[in-house]
C-alpha cells in the first residue's frame, strides 16, 4: 500500500513538473493546426510574407493616399502664399534700405534678386503642372521589366506605381505633396532646379537681411530698446529700463515749458532753446505700431528663410548626390538592398544607369543636342533626353567601348 502511494506521488510530481512543457507542445500543435487550416482554405502558390504585409497595410495606405490628395492643393497654396509674403517684405523693407545706402548696389541686387525669383517661380510652376510621364496604353512597349500589379500593365525600366496618383510614372522619384504632383522623368529637372534656386534665394535674403535685422532688432533701430540692450539689462541689471519703480532717474537740466500743448521750450541757464515739437498721442501710437510690424516682418522673413535654407538645402544636397550616382530616391533604396545581397556572395553590384558624375548630370539637365549651360541658368522648358520608356545601359555601353578599343 505504501509503495503504491509513493508511486502515485512520483507520477503526480512528474506530471506537475512537465505541465509547462506539455502546455507549450499543446499550444504549438494548435498553432500548426490553425496554419494548416488557413493554408487549406486560402493557399496560394504566390503567397508570401511581403504579400500578407501588403494586404494588411492596404487600409492605412488608402488613408494616406486619399489624405495626400486632399492636402496637396492646400500645400501648394501655402508655398505660394509664404513665398509671396517674403518677397513682399523684401520689396517693402529691404529695397528702400539698400536704395538709401547705395543706388548702384541696389540696381545690381535688383537684377540678381529677380533672376533668382524668376527661376524659382518658373521651375516651381513647371514642376507642378508638367506631367511626369506614364507608359502609353494600347501600344507595344519594346522594353518591359515587369508587370504592375495595380495597373495590370507592363512597366518599362525605372517605372514605378504611384499610389497617390494611381498610375505608373516613368523614372519615378517620389510623390511630392508640396507640388501636388509626382516627380518623374519629365519634371525631375524642374523639381531639383526649384530646390536649388530656392536655397540660393534664401541665402540671398539672409545675407542681405542680416544688416537690417541687426540694426532694427538687436540695436533697436531709430527708437525703442533693442534686443541686445534688453538682454544686457536682464542679465546685468535684473530688468528692463523703466520697469523698476525704485530706479533712480537722472535729473533733467532746464525747465521744458509746454506751449499750447504742441511744443517744448527747453531752458538752458536762463536761455530759451529751440522749441521742440511734441508728438501727439495718436502719432506716438502709430509710430509704435509701425515699429512693431516692421520688426515682426523682419523676424518672420528671417525665420522662414532660415527654415527653407536648412530643409530645402539638405534635401537638395541629398538629391544632388543621387543624381551624381545616376539613381532616383526609389532606386537608391533598391540599389542598397541589391548591394547588400550581392555582398553576401562576394559580388559587387553595378548601377546600370551610372555613367559617371559628369555624364549623369549632363543627362539629367538635358545639356545635349547643342544646348548650352544657359538652359540651366535661365528658365528653359526643354524636355529631358529620351522618352523614358527605354534607357541606355552603362554596363553594356562600357563593354562595347572596351571591345572597340
The catalytic site residues sit at: 176
DSSP state for residue 231 in the 8-state scheme: H
DSSP track, 72-117: HHHHHHHHHHHHHHHHHHIIIIIHHHHHHH-HHHHHHHHHHHHHHH
Distance in angstroms (rounded) separating the CA atoms of residues 135 and 389:
7
CA angle 75, 76, 78 (to 5 degrees): 60
Reading the block at residue 54, the C-alpha cell is 501588403
162 SS3 class:
strand
DSSP 322-333: HHHTT--HHHHH
CA 103 to chain CA centroid, nearest Å:
36
Strands 146-148 and 276-277: unpaired
Q: What is the DSSP letter of 172?
A: -
Residues 6 or more apart whose CB falls under 8 angstroms from that of 360 comprise: 323, 324, 325, 326, 354
Q: Are 364 and 189 in contact (CB under 8 A)?
A: yes
DSSP 251: P
Q: How far is the C-alpha of 99 from the C-alpha of 101, rounded, in Å?
A: 5
Query: From start to end of 218-302, where are the E strands?
Result: 257-259, 263-265, 267-268, 271-272, 276-277
What are 111's three cell numbers?
A: 537684377
Cα separation, 385 vs 382, whole angstroms: 9
Amino acid at each position: 500500500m505504501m509503495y503504491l502511494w509513493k508511486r502515485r506521488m512520483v507520477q503526480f510530481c512528474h506530471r506537475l513538473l512537465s505541465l509547462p512543457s506539455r502546455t507549450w507542445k499543446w499550444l504549438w500543435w494548435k498553432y500548426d493546426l490553425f496554419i494548416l487550416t488557413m493554408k487549406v482554405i486560402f493557399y496560394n502558390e504566390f503567397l508570401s510574407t511581403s504579400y500578407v504585409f501588403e494586404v494588411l497595410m492596404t487600409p492605412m495606405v488608402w488613408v494616406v493616399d486619399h489624405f495626400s490628395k486632399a492636402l496637396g492643393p492646400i500645400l501648394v497654396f501655402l508655398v505660394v502664399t509664404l513665398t509671396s509674403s517674403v518677397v513682399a517684405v523684401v520689396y517693402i523693407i529691404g529695397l528702400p534700405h539698400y536704395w538709401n545706402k547705395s543706388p548702384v548696389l541696389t540696381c545690381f541686387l535688383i537684377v540678381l534678386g529677380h533672376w533668382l525669383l524668376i527661376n524659382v517661380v518658373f521651375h516651381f510652376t513647371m514642376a507642378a503642372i508638367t506631367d511626369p510621364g506614364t507608359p502609353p496604353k494600347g501600344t507595344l512597349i519594346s522594353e518591359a521589366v515587369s508587370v504592375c500589379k495595380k495597373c495590370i500593365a507592363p512597366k518599362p525600366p525605372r517605372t514605378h506605381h504611384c499610389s497617390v496618383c494611381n498610375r505608373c510614372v516613368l523614372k519615378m522619384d517620389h510623390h511630392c505633396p508640396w507640388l501636388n504632383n509626382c516627380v518623374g522623368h519629365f519634371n525631375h529637372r524642374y523639381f531639383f532646379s526649384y530646390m536649388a534656386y530656392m536655397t540660393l534665394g534664401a541665402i540671398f535674403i539672409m545675407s542681405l537681411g542680416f544688416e537690417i535685422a541687426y540694426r532694427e532688432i538687436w540695436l533697436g533701430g531709430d527708437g525703442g530698446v533693442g534686443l541686445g540692450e534688453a538682454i544686457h539689462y536682464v542679465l546685468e541689471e535684473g530688468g528692463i529700463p523703466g520697469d523698476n519703480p525704485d530706479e533712480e532717474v537722472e535729473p533733467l537740466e532746464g525747465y521744458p515749458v509746454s506751449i499750447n500743448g504742441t511744443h517744448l521750450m527747453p531752458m538752458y541757464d536762463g536761455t530759451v532753446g529751440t522749441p521742440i515739437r511734441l508728438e501727439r498721442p495718436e502719432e506716438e501710437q502709430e509710430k509704435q505700431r509701425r515699429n512693431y510690424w516692421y520688426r515682426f516682418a523682419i523676424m518672420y522673413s528671417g525665420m522662414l528663410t532660415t527654415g527653407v535654407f536648412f530643409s530645402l538645402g539638405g534635401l537638395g544636397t541629398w538629391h544632388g548626390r543621387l543624381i551624381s550616382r545616376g539613381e532616383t530616391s526609389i532606386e537608391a533604396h533598391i540599389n542598397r538592398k541589391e548591394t547588400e545581397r550581392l555582398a553576401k556572395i562576394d559580388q559587387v553590384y553595378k548601377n546600370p544607369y551610372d555613367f559617371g558624375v559628369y555624364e549623369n548630370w549632363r543627362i539629367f539637365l538635358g545639356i545635349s543636342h547643342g544646348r548650352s549651360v544657359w538652359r540651366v541658368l535661365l528658365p528653359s522648358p526643354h524636355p529631358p533626353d529620351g522618352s523614358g520608356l527605354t534607357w541606355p545601359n552603362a554596363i553594356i555601353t562600357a563593354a562595347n567601348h572596351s571591345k572597340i578599343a
